[in-house]
Structure 1
């Protein structure tokens, strides 16, 4: 088979394949590339030595059996016999479920996670969003320190296990989305700088030198990242990708990397005959990210909407620290603004940033399904000092209210694993760094970060302690016990309503009408003929819905229809979904 590698600064490249070595030759058609043939098949170990340096794994390695620093292994994707006939499942109308393989089950493998997919099918979600799977040092971690952007973390089961997982998901009618990290790699196990200018000092990010998207050599770096993205979608039959922190993709070229990537993904979708999509994590507040390329946008198909989360979180909890400050001043007004306009910061002053931030969405042109709405995510839970979920501090009634808002809002809903049954387990920040100095630096940095906010060192879990990961694993005995079982039934009911009531899947932001009373603690909104009301206060609220005849579709507590004046009496910490009779 043919081996190739981009190493523009090398004067000599040697392929080490099993026990044999072979000098590669410069490719006359592609500057900086080296190629050569060698006997190899599925599972063959190999690596490249540049000049007199050590043998390194392939930057495009499809498998790292011994971790990021070991030799690469050949993967023959044609060997896997796919079972499911799958025509794809697009983003409009979707309900996503974010899942971390290492804590979804105690076993922490893709095969163990696949055995639980029946639960998600019964829940009614449409897509599983997997947190990053690329190899990283150690066994357990969040996955955002990954390297080898074409490979699957071996402790999770490697490439074959991911195919089995996707196959099982598709058999159950579930699409699969993968979180990919293009904005940084490593740092441990990142050998890309030895091969070429994959990073540039022209820009800097929180992780150091930026990935090279616009400096000399960036053509090949962009092709590397796009090739990796397409490989996930093609070789593993994934349905979409979540792009981590796109605001850290520093690119000054006339055609932005995201635009180039979205065009490539759309072309692949047309080629394979199934819908493929990209979801960005973006802190830019810029509608151009999710505006189609034909309308001079970047063409990403959707993005996470943290503004909606922050407004909902402050309304539920009253928290006002950090980036919650602006939302906490009038959380129900903030929630109203995001439900009708998408972004809260749309050119307004952001106290957290110390400047104005964002830009308004054009509600006539941007479909609300392009924004993901959620009450919890891995970031919003795991980046808290103790990784506490909403269920650690809120009553089941308030959790039901959060679910009602998320699952009946105009956005594409997303849940974080265990949220659907009010999981009692935390989800904490954990690592398994094999470099002692890096491990200690992460431990100190985590504790220093929260010490600045008044946390005692002993109250911040040690990321390197195996018990931190173990505490974060879901307890699968919970869903059959109350109050977990009641919350789970409520999520199932709401997801079914979203599927069965066309008004709830209408992505027109202009058609959303909201009323609220900040002091009384209630909010109500209209989606066509459907009304949703939530009362976050402890006392019964009288909510003027403006309709006298309504049928209750779902209620957390028993509630009657509005009175003759169109006023609904809603018990405290409760919610209801009605339709005009």
Structure 2
């Protein structure tokens, strides 16, 4: 494991600020302090192209830039704050000054994560970290145990999903900057909720990206869909790796973040002997030992490759968990009937039963969409290593019109889909607003200043939709209207149907948290059966007693089925029916208990949940 090198502006009250920057090809580097009387401090060259200097009078709030070879004046690549945006000077931050109140916080065990993904700019009217804080009691009331924040690294303008960030260490100024994020994390911990932060280590955005002025941060050995690949394995890659290792550790150490979601790790290219992700996990383990608490890495990947989460002694990278797109694609294709784009080859009853116990649909099978054999077996990986969802920022926002599932399926089917996700053996994740059927879309939006870049983004979006059969005109991602349309209405307090849906989500989450069989579900003790004729998924959890039997009618017609036989003797007692009027359902009277093998008739688009009684 490599030895880490401090970078950026590191303030110590007794000494001042040490500035360190990697610029291997520069002949002269100074730090310019933007004070009433500007001051330039020369940096000394050290090994491997690092430059460093102590500026005793650079205090928190001092803005600064680096001057390279007396020509280029640039913000700090490792800036912790860009108060005036991506093109202006960086600011010295004192992380020791924040008054944390979470000293007793020990985190939430991964198997207890019930995740709520949110975008800071559209989650509240304020569009800030403080706006999120105001609504945390509502999320706690819902039963959420972890919020996942879309990227907050400084991006150009005030409107962006966050994946165009260009200062990975700097917290977005329009959201509330470093202290705003700390207040949010502190407040979450006070509510008993963990915080997952989405970080992007596969590319940087195009506007305000000054890294190439400093050194070979990028490589032309590989291509990503979003721009130049980051240099993790080419010449001069050690300091680049150090840059991103330090970034991950910063979020854990200075912001008390509990977990990082690593965006699109399939676009992190590294053919070195030790993959970047493995070494990152090693550094995180080391920090865990120092801090005596757990830090979690969760990968987003479209490769169905368990090497990401296999232990290092099994040849893996040792990450804690990964997202499972197959789960989403199966349920989405089944309930919407969509078969275009990456939904090709998804949507059968057999597949839905398979993902409940085998995790991936494509685990070494031929994929028609990819035109190749795809994926690996997850048979030896526990369920808690996979995050599942029916909606997320990508799956909603990368639709041309940003429609949520509430626009694509009826009210009763929304409840069915909620049950499939929350009562699966995996870690469930909700996308903000889905719990009450938010009607506003979640669109793609940016606020670039370069006209050519703006047009390129518009054209790129149109091309992206070409493989789908979506009708209409794509909204302009640069428009403020696209951003405003994407804000949550939080309208369930004044809409009876939305309140019914939210209460049903709340009941499902409570069931997940209170039933012993869901504490740490064992995939090998989950029985799943479904056929294309019935369109009813039988899902039986037998990890711990009392067992739970879930019946999901994923069709628009009533279905009559027989309960599966299990080895244990006893009866099945009714726990929950989505058709109940309490949840805004049509009203349907089920028997209070059933024998194994009994006949059960399910209304269209409904869930029946039973508990075993010996």
Interval of TM-score (by shorter of Structure 1 and Structure 2) = over 0.9
* Aligned residues: CA RMSD: 1.4
- Paired residue for 2:481? 467
Out of 444-453 and 155-164, give the one that drifted further. 444-453
2:167 partner SS: coil
TM (normalized to structure 2)? 0.91
1:403: Cα distance to partner?
0.7
Q: Contact 1:537–1:572 (CA<8 Å) still a contact in 2?
A: yes
Q: Is the 8 A contact 1:89 1:274 kept in 2?
A: no
Contact 2:548 2:610 in 1 (8 A): yes
For the residue of structure 2 that corresponds to 1:485, the secondary structure is: helix
2:506 is equivalent to residue 492 of structure 1: yes
Conservation of the 8 A alpha-carbon contact between 1:549 and 1:580:
yes
The residue that corresponds to 1:360 in the other structure is 377
Alignment match, 1:566 = 598
Partner of 1:399: 414
> SS of the residue aligned with 2:183?
helix
Distance in 1 of aligned mates of 2:282 and 2:466: 45
**Which sections of structure 2, spanning at least 5 residues, go unmatched?**
1-16, 580-587
Q: Which of 215, 221, 246 lines up with 2:234 in the alignment?
A: 215
Matched, 1:100 2:111: no
Indicate which of 438, 444, 447 corresponds to 2:453.
438
Moved more, 389-398 or 237-246: 389-398
Which of residues 6, 22, 28 in structure 2 aligns to 1:6?
A: 22
1-structure distance, mates of 2:376, 2:224: 23
Q: Do the aligned partners of 1:214 and 1:253 also contact (CA within 8 Å) in 2? A: yes
1:75 maps to: 93
Q: Is the 8 A contact 1:77 1:235 kept in 2?
A: yes
Unaligned runs of 5+ in 1: none
Distance 1:505 1:540 in 2: 32
SS class of match (1:578): strand
Which has the larger displacement, 261-270 or 140-149? Answer: 261-270
Q: Deviations over 1:412-453 (max 9, x none)?
A: 110000011111111111111111111111112223433564
User: What's the secondary structure of 1:308's corresponding residue?
Assistant: helix
CA distance in 1: counterparts of 2:453 and 2:513, whole angstroms:
47
Kept after mapping to 2: 8 A contact 1:90/1:239 = no
Aligned in 2, Cα 1:266/1:553: closer, same or farther, shift over 3 Å? farther
Partner of 1:149: 168
What's 1:347 paired with? 364
1:114 corresponds to which of 128, 133, 143: 133
Q: Deviations over 1:186-240 (max 9, x none)?
A: 1111000111110011111112321000001111111110100000111000000
CA contact (8 A) 2:433 2:490 kept: no
Aligned 8 A contact 2:340 2:468 in 1: no
1:47 lines up with 2:65 in the alignment: yes
Q: Is the 8 A contact 1:562 1:569 kept in 2?
A: no
Query: Match of 1:15?
Result: 31
What is the CA deviation profile of residues 354-413 of structure 1, one whole-angstrom value per residue up to 9, with x for unaligned ones? 1111111233xx111000011100000000010001100211111111111111111111
Contact kept? 2:563, 2:596, Cα under 8 Å: no
- Which ranges of 4 or more aligned residues in structure 1 deviate by more than 4 Å? 451-456
Supply the distance in 2 between the matched residues of 1:419 and 1:477 (Cα, whole angstroms): 12
Task: Give secondary structure in 2 for the equivalent of 1:204.
Answer: strand
Query: Aligned pair in 2 of structure 1 residues 220, 564: CA closer, same or farther (>3 Å)?
Result: closer
Q: Distance in 1 between matches of 2:335 and 2:76?
A: 48
Q: Following superposition of structure 1 onto structure 2, how do residues 126-525 of structure 1 map, counting pairs within 5 Å?
A: 126-328=145-347, 331-363=348-380, 366-450=381-465, 453=468, 455=470, 459-525=473-539
- What TM-score does the superposition give when structure 1 sets the normalisation length? 0.96
CA contact 2:147–2:193 (8 Å) conserved in 1: yes
Offset at residue 480 of structure 1 (A): 4.2
In the alignment, the residues of structure 1 paired with residue 571 and residue 465 of structure 2 have an alpha-carbon distance, to the nearest angstrom, of: 52
The count of corresponding residues between Structure 1 and Structure 2 is 574
Per the alignment, residue 575 of structure 1 pairs with 607
- SS of 1:151 mapped into structure 2: strand
Report if the CA contact (8 A) 2:438-2:490 is conserved: no
CA distance in 2, matches of 1:497, 1:454: 38
Structure 1 pair 324–451 and aligned structure 2 pair: CA distance change class (3 A): closer
